Structure 1
């Protein structure tokens, strides 16, 4: 019963947002509340939602202050030299622009943090897309595809969860996945080339795309806010912030709060200028934070009602026992929908141990199944349960539903390519 309600909840949610009948925020909150009430969990809803919001609170704080910090840095002109270099390299060529987007995302994603990657890449590339009249959905698609592959880095999250869940090291899980990641990146660059060619033809035939949102953080520049004299100081502060993040010295949300306050004082010592910065970017920060806390309510209800666990177990149970010898392939295939509809914590700590226990009975080692479970990460970042996805679409000024429809087939393609590559190289 719980499994049916779980899939019903997800189907209703996806239909509502893809057909633009509700915003992601309202759907994230109202759909699970309705399903939980129908299932008889009404009296317990308060506690479930509270737990879900508490779980995601630090992420919400981090994204709010990440937006404020990097928005401030964009206002000061920190990324202008990078944008100018890229502009010079790509010229007025959509194909070079899309490939440049893939390269930049891959390099910036080495820090393992999706939120900062999205902010930096969109800040650098969206002006080029605007100038050339390219569809921003192409930008969000390429960024998500490259970010999904790089998310497999040990410090990116899912791989660390696999290693922790299975008590294995990076040499057993991550190192063998490096060739698969490279194959995945080749696919991303191929997609970037295809999308670039399509945009070039579309612009030549129909003219430039002009329907940009006014809410993106890299919109019209305010010359009064530029601080070229503080370029080196701002660069050093940003490098320190990223170092703190990589070394995990303090919680990232706290690091962004401190960094934003320091940057505000250094660049805009006058109180009215500090207030101007906050007011200018508060809309973006609030809209993203709202969806983050909405996702917290969604996952809190999924976990609290037991729906999430029931869904995972039901999917495993439908696999015929005669297919046991192909459990590695089945794990890789099912990792795509499971990591899309479930959180990484739910999948890697709740479902993967069950899969590996089954594999142990069939003589399939846990490291193989652990690597197979990472294949789905190529499309995981498209999930409505991933907070940073809302940041990406907000920065680029596109609708989540449009981004999902545009990117889904390419993301599934990434998972298929990685699966075939892993099988061909006997990595899973």
Structure 2
């Protein structure tokens, strides 16, 4: 029953979002609450939601102030020199721009933090996309695909969870995945090239893309807010913030909050200018924060009712016994939907140990199954349960539903490419 309700919840959520019948925040709250009440969990509902929101609270604060901070830096003109340099390098060629996006994302993703990657890459590339008239959905697609591959880095999260869950080291889990990741990045470059060629042809026929030109952190600049004389101070402050991020010196939400307040006072000492900045970007920041807390309620109910665990166990249970020797390939295939519909913690700490125990009985080493479970990461970042997803679409000024529809087929392609590569190289 719980499994049925879980998949019903997911299907209804996806349909309502993709058909644009509900906003993400309303769907994230109303659907799980309705299902929980239907399943008889009404008396425990408040506690479940509170626990879910508490777990996501710091992430919500971080995303709220990260958007405000980098929006402010865009307004000051901090990234204009970088945009001009990139523009000179790629010219007016969308193909070079999309390929550059994939390469830049791959390099920035080496820090293992998806949120900071999105912030840096979108801040640098979105103005360029707008000047060239490229659909910003191309940007969010390429960034997500590159980030999904690089998310397998040991310090990125999923691989660390696998190693912890199975009590294995990075030499057994991560090192054999390096060639698979390299092939995955090559696939992303191919996708970037294809999308660049398509956009180049579309722009030649239809002109520049108009739909999202006034949204996102890189909207139209207000000349009265530009602060060219303070560019070095703003750059120093931003570099300090990035160091704090990378070295984990302070909680990221607190770091962004302090940095935003300092930047506001330095760049806009007059109260009316500070109020102008807040008014300009508050709607964008609050909409993301709202979705993050909505996602907290969604996952809180999934965890509290046991639906998440039941869904994972049921998907494992439908595998016929005769297919046991192919468990590694089955694990890789199922990792795509499981890491999309479940959180990484739920999958790697709740489901993977069960898979590993089954594999032990069949004589399949745990390290093979651990590597197989990482294949789904290629499309995991598209999941509505990943907070940074909402940051990405908000920064780029696009709808989550549009991003999901546009990127889904390419994300599934990434997982298939990595699966085929892993099988052919004998990694799983």
Which range is displaced more, 254-263 or 333-342? 254-263
Q: Aligned-pair distance for 1:401?
A: 1.1
CA–CA separation in structure 2 for the residues paired with 1:30 and 1:398: 23
The question of whether the paired residues in 2 share the 8 Å contact of 1:213 and 1:398 is answered with no
CA–CA separation in structure 2 for the residues paired with 1:208 and 1:232: 33
Map of 2:272 onto structure 1: 272
Map of 2:346 onto structure 1: 346
CA–CA separation in structure 2 for the residues paired with 1:325 and 1:129: 48
The question of whether the paired residues in 1 share the 8 Å contact of 2:130 and 2:213 is answered with no
TM-score for both structures, normalised by structure 2: 0.97
Map of 2:91 onto structure 1: 91
Map of 1:313 onto structure 2: 313
* Length, aligned pairs only: 428
Map of 1:32 onto structure 2: 32
Q: Aligned-pair distance for 1:340?
A: 0.2
Map of 1:227 onto structure 2: 227
Query: Does 2:238 correspond to 1:238?
Result: yes
For residues 270-308 of structure 1, what are the alpha-carbon distances to aligned partners after superposition, in whole Å with 9 as ceiling and x for unaligned?
333333222221111100000000111111110111000
Q: Aligned-pair distance for 1:11?
A: 0.5
**Secondary structure of residue in 2 paired with 1:155:** helix
Map of 1:108 onto structure 2: 108
For residues 89-148 of structure 1, what are the alpha-carbon distances to aligned partners after superposition, in whole Å with 9 as ceiling and x for unaligned?
111111111111111111221222222222222222222222222211111111111111
Map of 2:296 onto structure 1: 296
Q: Aligned-pair distance for 1:62?
A: 0.6
Which range is displaced more, 270-279 or 281-290? 270-279
Q: Aligned-pair distance for 1:322?
A: 1.5
CA–CA separation in structure 2 for the residues paired with 1:235 and 1:112: 22
Q: Aligned-pair distance for 1:158?
A: 1.1
Query: Does 2:377 correspond to 1:380?
Result: no
CA–CA separation in structure 1 for the residues paired with 2:112 and 2:67: 17
TM-score for both structures, normalised by structure 1: 0.97
For residues 377-396 of structure 1, what are the alpha-carbon distances to aligned partners after superposition, in whole Å with 9 as ceiling and x for unaligned?
00001111111111111222
**Structure 2: runs of 5 or more not aligned:** none
CA–CA separation in structure 1 for the residues paired with 2:232 and 2:205: 44
Map of 1:3 onto structure 2: 3
Cα distance change of structure 1 residues 202 and 234 upon mapping to structure 2, 3 Å threshold: same
Query: Does 2:423 correspond to 1:409?
Result: no
CA–CA separation in structure 1 for the residues paired with 2:71 and 2:8: 39
Map of 1:335 onto structure 2: 335
The question of whether the paired residues in 2 share the 8 Å contact of 1:158 and 1:344 is answered with yes
CA–CA separation in structure 1 for the residues paired with 2:213 and 2:400: 13
CA–CA separation in structure 1 for the residues paired with 2:171 and 2:266: 44
Map of 1:149 onto structure 2: 149
Map of 1:49 onto structure 2: 49
The question of whether the paired residues in 2 share the 8 Å contact of 1:111 and 1:242 is answered with no
CA–CA separation in structure 1 for the residues paired with 2:242 and 2:166: 29
Q: CA RMSD in A?
A: 1.4
Q: Aligned-pair distance for 1:213?
A: 5.4
Q: Aligned-pair distance for 1:234?
A: 2.4
**Secondary structure of residue in 1 paired with 2:168:** coil
**Secondary structure of residue in 1 paired with 2:155:** coil
CA–CA separation in structure 2 for the residues paired with 1:278 and 1:169: 46
Q: Aligned-pair distance for 1:400?
A: 1.1
Which range is displaced more, 32-41 or 241-250? 241-250
Q: Aligned-pair distance for 1:187?
A: 0.3
